[in-house]
Chains A and B, each alone.
Chain A
Amino acid sequence: MLVERYERRAYGIAFGMLRNREDAMDAAQDAFVKVFRNIGSFKGDSSFYTWFYRIVKNVCIDHCRKKSRAKLVEYDETYRRKDEDPGVLKMSGNTRDMQPGVAFEQAELGKVLNEALSRLTENHRSIILLREVEGLSYEEIAETMDCHLGTVMSRLHHARKNLQKVLRPYLDASGSDLSKRAGAGVRKTT
């Protein structure tokens, strides 16, 4: 069933944008209502997920407007908030004193990641989640976010750099699982 198949993804997208569980659940359900009402307008020119993602995103934007939370910050490569410096993110708790490697085993990491994600611009947050969590290719991301491949690469690079600045104290250079993906960077279709 459509809802069962996409409810987690809808919620994930919504939570990535709204950063609030209740709002995300609300928006995800509203998105499915829109899907049911507009399924006839889906012509199959793009993948269903692309179409679906845009609906969820638009619902989240509407949701923000209604609630006047204005959490969304449209990203422009030439524009950056002057006070935005992910490197000086205020952490909750004394997590910086943790030993590298141990930190990733702690529940505290969830808070750190949430906070780090919340400090990213909406576009950076979306693109890093589409790539790392949804596993979309650059081409699919470009289609989903309606932007050029170059923009995808640029945003992804900046998103990673910003996350890296925040998370560096918790990154374990000796992580044993890292070698598994090393060398896996070859594009399948050449």
Chain B
Amino acid sequence: MISERDEELLNRFIDGELSVDEAAEFEARLSASEDLAAVRDEFVQMGSALREHVATELDEVDFSGFFDGVIARLGPDEAPVIEPAPTAAVVETTEEGVISSMKAWWSNNWTPVLVGAAAAAAIAFWMGQGTSPTPVTTPDVARAPAESTATKSIVASDQPREAQPANVVVDAIRNEGNKAILVSQPVEDDGAMVIWLLDEEEEDEQPVDGEDPI
């Protein structure tokens, strides 16, 4: 005969809801009562059968159109927005963005720039007395928006660009002489390819004969 107390403890035992002391006490009861142990076995087996049964039934259900079915029930403005993860550096193309980034760069780097410029001027004065020094730095793609006034040309575009285009994802960067060319594809794919020329092409300054190239 199984008491109500045993039945209550049995359920909690099976479900892992007994304390250590209670579980030890109940295990002793299970060892002493074959009837209680048999019910325990039946309850445990029922649980296993239920889990297996539900899993099997769910495996038979085709969920391939489930998401589309949900979306179809949502209004056009209710569908969840799925944004693609950024895959490359994003270059701010708005004029405000370029100016603000230039200001930020200048506020962080004005000291070394001025020191470098003063040193270059002193060396030029000492070495050549008036000859133009070779540029100290070469165009740096990473700092380009802040260091140079970018000129852009749009090629292979059938439609005029808006005044303030969207962010542009840079697909490729290559250097050709003094030019750094960024080939981009607008986020909103309209088929246009954008090429950024970060520096005006400079004429190669050939040193005058007999002049120190430095």
Minimum C-beta distance from B35 to chain A (A): 11
Roughly how many angstroms separate A109 CA and B7 CA in the complex, as a whole number? 26
Roughly how many angstroms separate A21 CA and B156 CA in the complex, as a whole number? 54
Q: Is A97 on the interface with B (CB-CB < 8 A)?
A: no
Q: Is B103 on the interface with A (CB-CB < 8 A)?
A: no
Known contacts A3-B70, A186-B20: A21-B61 contact under CB 8 Å: yes
Main secondary structure on B side of the interface with A: helix
Q: Which residue of A lies closest to B42 (CB)?
A: A171
Roughly how many angstroms separate A160 CA and B17 CA in the complex, as a whole number? 16
Known contacts A178-B41, A185-B18, A190-B19: A167-B46 contact under CB 8 Å: yes
Q: Is A182 on the interface with B (CB-CB < 8 A)?
A: yes
Roughly how many angstroms separate A41 CA and B41 CA in the complex, as a whole number? 44
Minimum C-beta distance from B92 to chain A (A): 31
Known contacts A36-B74, A36-B80: A185-B16 contact under CB 8 Å: yes
Chain B interface residue count: which class?
A: 35 or more
Report A-chain residues with C-beta under 8 Å of the C-beta of B23: 185-187
Chain A interface residue count: which class?
A: 35 or more
Query: Of the candidates B12, B67, B73, which one forms a contact with A185 in the assembled complex, judged by CB atoms under 8 Å apart?
Result: B12
Report A-chain residues with C-beta under 8 Å of the C-beta of B43: 160, 164
- Which residue numbers of A lie inside 8 Å of B, CB to CB? 1, 3-4, 7-8, 11-12, 15, 21, 25, 28-30, 32-33, 36-37, 104, 109-110, 113-114, 128-129, 131-133, 137-138, 153, 156-157, 160, 163-164, 167-168, 171-173, 175, 177-178, 181-188, 190
